[in-house]
């Protein structure tokens, strides 16, 4: 782990299933339900439960979160801010980002916002330029932004844009953001990269071909990135235990 999380210098890239975070009912979109996981939430981890990081270890860590205006991203931002992290909140909807930022600051947390369209490569590049200019060190990158399309393959015939749009957000945006920041992350001695994935990638769920394909691609990218950065890389594990100290 790096910085306050240990003395080892390495880059850790992992894929986190979306069920690894508890999203309060008040933060869920009416049309969606995010399954609650069976283990610890970010708040429990930030409080040092289950062998996870304590608030002291989170203190002053610079954490970049995409898709931070709602759902998993918003819930993670609130809980990590409560642990003392310095947050960079990224999403397309600036008004929603300001709402989350105001709530975090009202609770005594620290958060800055960056409105960006992650589906646009130039917007991602400009975002990375700002992040690198504003922060000499970035401790954690959480690639959480995503979209899902629920449509059977029969109904998807002729709808190539369904796959293209899903890949653009779920895969290409995360890869572009990661690769733009990677030189700095390696130069500073390492960092954490967390990709929010889905347990459904282990299944063959009907009507989610576009979504699951994009998440599976992101999982594969994480595994290759981990192996490519050896000896700086550490093992990839799909559970909230990735936030725990290596023993």
Question: Which residue numbers are catalytic?
Answer: 211
Asked if residue 231 has a cis previous peptide bond (ω within 30° of 0), the answer is: yes
Residue 129: CB atoms within 10 A of its CB come to 11
Q: Looking at the DSSP assignment, which residues form a beta bridge with residue 17?
A: 197
At 14, phi and psi to the nearest 5? -135, 165
Whether the CB-CB separation of 100 and 48 falls below 8 Å is answered with no
* C-alpha to C-alpha distances, 136 to 86, 187, 202, nearest whole angstrom: 13, 11, 38
Bridge partners, 233 (sequence order): 11
Cβ atoms within 10 Å of 26's Cβ, excluding its own: 6
Quick check: 38 and 240 in contact, CB under 8 A? Answer: no
- Give the Cα separation of 236 and 168 in Å (integer): 24
Distance CA 175, CA 88 (A): 18
The CA distance from 96 to 173, in Å, is: 20
């Amino acid at each position: 782990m790096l910085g306050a999380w240990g003395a080892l210098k390495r880059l850790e890239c992992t894929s986190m299933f979306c069920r690894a975070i508890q999203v309060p009912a008040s933060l869920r979109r009416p049309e969606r339900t995010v399954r609650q996981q069976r283990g610890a939430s970010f708040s429990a981890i930030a409080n040092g439960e289950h062998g996870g990081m304590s608030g002291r270890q989170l203190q002053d860590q610079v954490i970049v979160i995409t898709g931070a205006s709602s759902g998993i991203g918003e819930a993670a931002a609130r809980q990590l801010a409560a642990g003392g992290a310095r947050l960079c909140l990224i999403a397309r909807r600036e008004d929603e980002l300001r709402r989350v930022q105001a709530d975090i600051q009202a609770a005594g947390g620290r958060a800055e916002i960056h409105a960006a369209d992650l589906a646009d490569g130039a917007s991602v590049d400009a975002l990375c330029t700002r992040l690198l200019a504003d922060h000499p060190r970035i401790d954690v990158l959480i690639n959480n932004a995503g979209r899902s399309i629920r449509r059977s393959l029969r109904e998807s015939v002729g709808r190539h844009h369904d796959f293209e749009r899903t890949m653009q957000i779920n895969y290409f945006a995360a890869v572009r953001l990661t690769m733009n920041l990677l030189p700095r992350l390696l130069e500073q001695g390492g960092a954490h990269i967390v990709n929010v994935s889905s347990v459904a990638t282990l299944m063959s769920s009907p009507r989610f071909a576009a979504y699951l394909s994009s998440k599976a691609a992101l999982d594969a990218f994480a595994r290759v990135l981990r192996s490519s950065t050896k000896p700086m890389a550490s093992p990839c594990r799909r559970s909230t235990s990735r936030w725990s100290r290596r023993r």
